[in-house]
Amino acid sequence: MIGTATALLAGVAGLFVTAVAAVLLARRAATTRLIYSAALGLSLFLLAIVGRHLLIQPPAVSVLTLPVGLPWIGAHFRIDSLAAFFLVVVNLGGAAASLYGLGYGRHEPAPHRVLPFYPAFLAGMNLVVLADDAFTFLLSWEFMSLTSWALVVVHHRVADNTRAAYVYLVMASFGTLTLLLAFGLLAGPEGGYAFDAIRAAAHPPPLAALVLGLMLVGAGSKAGLVPLHVWLPLAHPAAPSHVSALMSGVMTKVAIYGFIRIVFDLLNAPSWWSSMVVLALGGATALLGVLYALMQHDLKRLLAYHTVENIGIIFIGLGLTLAFQANDMGWAAALAMTAALFHVLNHSLFKSLLFFGAGAVLTATGERNMEHLGGLIHRLRYTAVAFLIGCAAISALPPLNGFVSEWLTFQAILQSPQLPQWGLKFLVPAVGALLALSAALAAACFVKAFGVTFLGRPRSPAAAEAKEVDRLSLAAMFVLAALCMLAGVLPGLVIDALAPVTDALLAARMPAQASQSWLTIVPIASGQSSYSGALVLVFIVVSASLMAVAIHRFASRRLRRAPAWGCGFPDVGPQAQYTASSFAQPIRRVFGTLVFQARETVEMPPPGDNSPARFEVSVRDLIWDGLYAPVANSVDFAARHLNRLQFLTIRRYLSMVFAALVTLLLVLAIWP
């Protein structure tokens, strides 16, 4: 019987072979279909292997060591329950994206730029989750970043994409630098890079704190934690839509896997004040992400900023886990971590679905700008249904899955008055308020996204003549939509599946949910709080049907179509309806005046003058202006001045070498 790790590595090797094949078979007609089918098949194969592994009770650990990489260690690969869960997330996303790509890839103008890197990207993400020593981890992480960068620059002639790719490259390198430092600190002077060695070693608290900070910066920048999120809304929309889905829905989760693996598994020395940092960052990220998303009128950029918000929610859950763990409240820590991991799964599902929908809209109309769309619910019928399910799921509406993970996070917050530290006592209610605020704003954001794009009347000819996309893309979207509904109705299954993960990391788990009646979930104790998604769905469906039947039987069922009422005013045309900016205006005025320094100016011509009025909104990104622009300027300044070193005479160079030699000798002389 082949070990699980071996089978998984075989699958990953298959993905590499596919990538090479894409290079060799470039510019042929059938290559697109071949590559995406291969990627789909391999992702499903990996999913099956992981699924088989998960069914083994008690949870097993499978390791493999290959004689590549660093000579004295080799490359270690390991699959345990945490890796298994994240592999499910990665490969589910990969399979869905490949299925979507089978349909969407036909419209790609430069397939030879996409196809080699796509399977390589999938392979890189799988390898990061499988890696069991620092070198393999970092190598796979960089490989993942570079392949996704290559996918971002596919459409390099579009003006913004080169800048997006540049910012992405800088931030990714910065992230890898911090991870390198973190692993260096963890491995220590003996160079014990294997994760087993790091797990066994004892880490003094200052070191653990430093490593946690470095991980927050490194993994957080890849996940999209404020203020390191700036590359995300630039790079994610620039890539082709199925790659955007992978980057937003899956790659950010791989970053979270890195954080969980290092902080909870390798370090395992939680301190309560580090949980405060994580909680504060998570809360700020959640609120800022959704406020940024509300200001956007580019559909894909809105989705990318919204990813930032969901990452904030996941980090809130992880911060709560750290706080509970530091205070020996294992059952509450299990609840918080289950909430965070459930949200990881949910987000990968519905964010991929939404990006697929945005890709379908882009294919059908050629537009990403919501201000030029509208009325697509009549033209793209099936896409609209799938996108609506995605919007409802992400807005945390019962009985879909987004609500369950949010409900679990709130239950975890309600356990926190038992935490003794004062800082936490003040921070946790504030973070709870931030979470509630961002959940409500997310619903507003997606009413805007769906309402302006799909509802109303078409605002441009492209939107008026859109055609429905092909069946494979639709299939991918509906599979994800079905999974969202299933996860919302059967949350007990997911919670029970996550129990081995929390058991391995925290030595605690939530109570078994499978035994509850009516598919209810009970996070702490029956009678304290419970929720049954299935029953809520049944109630809603039954009451709606009951009323529909009663009305159609006993009251009228006549219907007549007529011009829109509009309070009796004559219709001016589709230009009179609300645009994305106008929808966001009340919220921009309430929140944006402070957070973005949003200012509106209106220039009205005097009465009798026929020239149009002018309305201007200025919004500033304070994080970019306050943090990145000064850093970029100082680097520029230093570079310009250091550039003078390029143009020295030979004598000057010789004097520099001479001075360096003399300094070294001096140091050698003085050093005790």
Partner 1 sequence: MIIDLLVQGGQMALVLALAPLLTGVVRKVKARLLRRRGAPVLQPYRDLFRLLRKEAVIAENASWLFRVTPYLVFATTWVAAALVPTFATGLMFSWTADLIALIALLASARFFLALAGMDIGTAFGGIGSSREMMIASLAEPAMLLIVFTLALVAGSTQLSTIAGYMMSPAVGLRVSLGLALIALIMVAIAENARIPVDNPSTHLELTMVHEAMVLEYSGRHLAMIEFAASLKLLLYVSLIACLFAPWGLTVSGGGLAAYALGAVTYLAKLLVAGGMLALFETSIAKMRVFRVSDFLGAALMLGLLATLLLFVSRSL
Partner 2 sequence: MTSFTFDVAHFLAGGLVLVSFMLLYQDRLYAVLNIFALHAFVLALSVAWQAYVQGAPHLYVTAGIALVFKATIIPLALHRIIRRLGIHRQIETVVGVGLTMLVGIALVALSMVVMLRVTQAANPLAREDMAFALSVVLLGLLMMTTRRNAVSQVIGFTSLEDGLVLAATGAKGMPLVVEISVAFSILIAFIVIGIFLFRIRERFDTVDVQALDHFRGERQ
User: Measured from the CB atom, is 286 or 362 closer to partner 1?
Assistant: 286
Q: Does 587 interact with partner 1 (rule: CB under 8 A)? A: yes
Residue 529 is a binding residue for partner 1 (CB under 8 A): yes
What b/e sequence results for 476-511 when a residue is b if at least 16 CB atoms lie within 10 Å of its CB, and e otherwise?
bbbbbbebbbbbbbbbbebbbbbbbbbbbbbebbbb
Tell me how far CA of residue 276 lies from CA of 159, 317, 537, 623, 640, in angstroms. Answer: 41, 12, 37, 21, 40
- Closest to partner 2 by CB, 246 vs 434, is 434
260 neighbors 343 (Cβ within 8 angstroms):
no
Q: Of partner 2, partner 1, none, which one does residue 544 interact with (CB within 5 to 8 Å by kind)? A: partner 1
Query: Choosing among partner 1, partner 2, none, which partner's interface includes residue 555 (Cβ < 5 to 8 Å by kind)?
Result: partner 1
Positions in 537-556 near partner 1 (CB under 8 A): 539-541, 543-544, 547-548, 551, 554-556
Q: Torsions phi, psi of 456, nearest 5?
A: 80, -155
Least separation in angstroms between CB 409 and partner 1? 10
List interacting residues with partner 2 (CB under 8 A): 422, 426, 590, 593-594
Closest separation in Å from C-beta 424 to partner 2: 13
* Euclidean distance between CA atoms 186 and 370, whole angstroms: 47
Give the CA count within 13 Å in the CB-facing half-sphere of 170. 14
Judged by CB under 8 A, the chain residues 330 through 389 that form the site for partner 1 are 374-375, 377-378, 388
261 counts as binding partner 1 under rule CB under 8 A:
no
| Closer of 172 and 276 to partner 2 (Cβ) | 276
In the complex, the smallest distance separating the C-beta of residue 426 from partner 2, rounded to whole angstroms, is 5
**Which residue in the set 417, 605, 626, 630 belongs to the binding site for partner 1 (CB under 8 A)?**
417
Q: Is 576 in the site for partner 1 (CB under 8 A)?
A: yes
| Contact in structure between 75 and 68 (CB atoms under 8 Å) | yes
For partner 2, the closer CB: 168 or 591: 591
Which part of the chain contacts partner 1 (CB under 8 A), choosing from 42-50, 340-348, 393-401, 490-498?
Answer: 393-401
559 binds partner 1 (CB under 8 A): yes
β-strand pairing of 62-66 with 75-79: antiparallel
Residue of 64, 180, 85 whose CA lies nearest to 131: 64
Task: Report the largest interatomic distance among the alpha carbons of the chain, rounded to a whole angstrom.
Answer: 103
Question: Residue 432, interface with partner 1 (CB under 8 A)?
Answer: yes
Binding-site partner at residue 657 among partner 1, partner 2, none, CB < 5 to 8 Å by type = none
Q: What's the closest the beta carbon of residue 418 comes to partner 2, in angstroms? A: 17
Q: 3-class SS at 616?
A: strand
Does the footprint of partner 1 cover residue 430 (CB under 8 A)?
yes
Least separation in angstroms between residue 440's CB and partner 2 is 15
Q: Output the CA angle 18-24-30, nearest 5 degrees.
A: 75
Return the number of other C-beta atoms located less than 10 Å from residue 435's C-beta.
Answer: 22
Q: Judged by CB, which is closer to partner 1: 82, or 521?
A: 521
Residue 661 near partner 1 by CB under 8 A: no
CB of 593 to partner 2, least distance (A): 7
Q: Which residues contact 132 (CB under 8 A, 6 or more apart)?
A: 63, 76, 77, 78, 194, 195, 196
Q: Which of 384, 618, 341 is nearest to 478 (CA)?
A: 384
Q: Which is nearer to partner 2, 330 or 423 (CB)?
A: 423
User: How far is residue 495's CA from residue 348's CA, in Å, rounded to a whole number?
Assistant: 16
Contact (Cβ atoms closer than 8 angstroms) between residue 382 and residue 357: no
Of residues 414 and 437, the one with the C-beta less far from partner 2? 437
**425 versus 467: smaller Cβ distance to partner 2:** 425
The type of residue at 458 is P
Q: Does residue number 570 form part of the binding site for partner 1 (CB under 8 A)?
A: no
Interface residue with partner 1 among 455, 462, 493, 619 (CB under 8 A) is 455
Q: 187 vs 522, which CB is nearer to partner 1? A: 522
Footprint (CB under 8 A) of partner 1, residues 282-341: none
388 binds, among partner 1, partner 2, none (CB under 5 to 8 A by kind): partner 1
Backbone dihedral region for residue 400 (phi beyond 0: left; psi -120 to 50: alpha; all else: beta) = beta
Spell 309-322 as b/e; 16+ CB within 10 A means b. bbbbbbbbbbbbbb
Q: Which CB sits closer to partner 1, 205 or 586? A: 586
CA–CA distance, 492 with 514 (Å, rounded to integer): 6
Q: Residue 390 Cβ, how far from partner 1 at the closest point, in Å?
A: 13
**Tokens linked to 619:** 């919004």
Q: Is 392 in the site for partner 1 (CB under 8 A)?
A: yes
Which does residue 520 touch among partner 1, partner 2, none (CB within 5 to 8 A, set by kind)?
Answer: partner 1
593 binds, among partner 2, partner 1, none (CB under 5 to 8 A by kind): partner 2
- Binding status of residue 146 toward partner 1 by CB under 8 A: no
Nearest residue (CB) to partner 2, 366 versus 417: 417
Q: Are 83 and 130 in contact (CB under 8 A)?
A: yes
Cβ-proximal residues to 278 (8 Å cutoff; 6+ apart), any chain:
216, 315, 318, 319, 322
CB of 276 to partner 2, least distance (A): 15
Least separation in angstroms between CB 437 and partner 2 = 12
- Number of C-alpha atoms within 13 angstroms, CB side, residue 346? 37
